Every structure is written in structure tokens, then in C-alpha cells.
Amino acid sequence: MNDLLDLYWTFVKIGSVTFGGGYAMLPILERELAEKRHWTTMDDLRDYFSIGQCTPGIIALNVSTFIGEKRHGVKGALAATVGFLTAPVLLILLIAMFLTNFAQLEIIQHAFAGIRVCVCVLIVQAVLRLWKKSVVDAPSLVIYLAVFLLNVMSFFLPVRIPAAVLVILSGVAGVLISSCRYRKAQEGGEAK
């Protein structure tokens, strides 16, 4: 029970500082869950994000469910996800009740212009740290560049390709590339 409360409370804290959506969450998760608590590893976190991107639902919630499940099964998944929801839901309820002009307040705008700078740096650092283990060879570099460029230039393309489609195609490409390699390696083995 204490373990579940701990899980819930940890995700309440994570949920209350995750500005700018799921991706900004990664450095915080890394610090709180991988380094401090050893509940998961950076490699696992990266895989959770990869999967969370091509499955339905909000990425942040998908990742919370993953970590909670790993820690404590179905109960853990619920504790983590509800924990992640707690702060944003309370805050929006308060804003809806009392502060309808919240986003227009000058002090809030300045504060968030500052926070956006920080979020930007956090994301860059997350990319740098994940790079080495994700972009491991030429084909994976090609996948990275293709997804990146198609996304950035989608503005100029006649049809907007949904991000989820790109991610799923990358998964399929991954399966094809590795099975090609496997076959080659086997043929090589037989030739010897």
C-alpha cells in the first residue's frame, strides 16, 4: 500500500512540473525515476516513449501507465496515471472557476516565456543523451532524418502525414532492416 502511495505521489509531483507536453517530461522522468529511485532505466524510458508515440492516447499518460505497470501491475498503472492527472485537473478546475483571464495576465506570460526557454534546453539535452543508443548506424540515421524532415516540411507538403503514421512506418522499416541483416548473417554463417 505504501509503495502504491509512493508511486502515486511521485507522479503527482511529475504531473505538476510537466509543462509543454509529454516530451518535456523525459528529462524529469530520467532524473526522478531512473537516477534517484532506480525504478526504471533510461533505455526503458526511451522505449516507452517510442511505443507511446504510435499507440493511441496522450503520450505522457501512456508513459505513466507503462512505468506504473512495471512497478506494481495494474494497480501501479492506475496509481501512476491518476497521479499524473491530479495536478493538471485541479489547476484547470481552479482556473475555470476563478481565473478565466489567467493566460492573459502579464506576469504569467513573462514567467512562461522563461519556462519555455528552459523546456527547450531540456528537450535538446534529452535528444543528445538518447542519440548515441538510438541512432546507431546508417539505416537508423536515415530513419531519423526522414522522420525529422518530413515532419518539419509537412507544412509545404500537399498532404499532412500524421506523425503516428511516420512512427509506425519506421517500426515496419526496422523489422525489415533487421530481418534482412539476420538473413545475411545466416547465409554468411552457412558459407563458412
Could you say which residues in the range 37-76 bind another protein, by CB under 8 A?
Answer: 46-47, 49-62, 65-66, 69-70, 74
State the virtual CA torsion across 22, 23, 25, 31 in degrees, nearest 10.
150
Which C-beta is closer to another protein: that of 7 or that of 130?
A: 130
The least distance separating another protein from the CB of residue 112, rounded to whole angstroms, comes to 4
Contact predicate 82/12, CB 8 Å = no
Q: Give yes or no for residue 188 binding another protein (CB under 8 A).
A: no
Q: Which cell numbers hold the place of 64? A: 505513466
Q: With beta carbons less than 8 A apart as the criterion, state whether 91 and 99 touch.
A: no
Binding of another protein by 4 (CB under 8 A): no
Among 7, 10, 11, 26, binds another protein (CB under 8 A): 26
Q: Out of 10, 33, 78, 83, point to the residue binding another protein (CB under 8 A).
A: 78
CB 46 within 8 A of CB 130: yes
Q: Does 9 bind another protein (CB under 8 A)?
A: no
Distance between CA 91 and CA 190 in Å, rounded?
64
Write phi, then psi, for 147 (nearest 5 degrees): -65, -45
Per CB under 8 A, the list member of 16, 34, 42, 72 interacting with another protein is 16
Q: Which of residues 96-135 bind another protein (CB under 8 A)?
A: 96-97, 102-104, 107-127, 130-131, 133-135
CB of 31 to another protein, least distance (A): 5
Among 73, 65, 11, CA closest to 37: 11
Q: Does 151 bind another protein (CB under 8 A)?
A: yes
Q: Count the residues of the shown chain that bind another protein, applying the rule CB under 8 A.
A: 104
83 binds another protein (CB under 8 A): no
From residue 119, alpha-carbon distances to 21, 62, 124, 126, 171 in Å are: 10, 20, 9, 11, 28
CB 192 to another protein: min, Å? 21
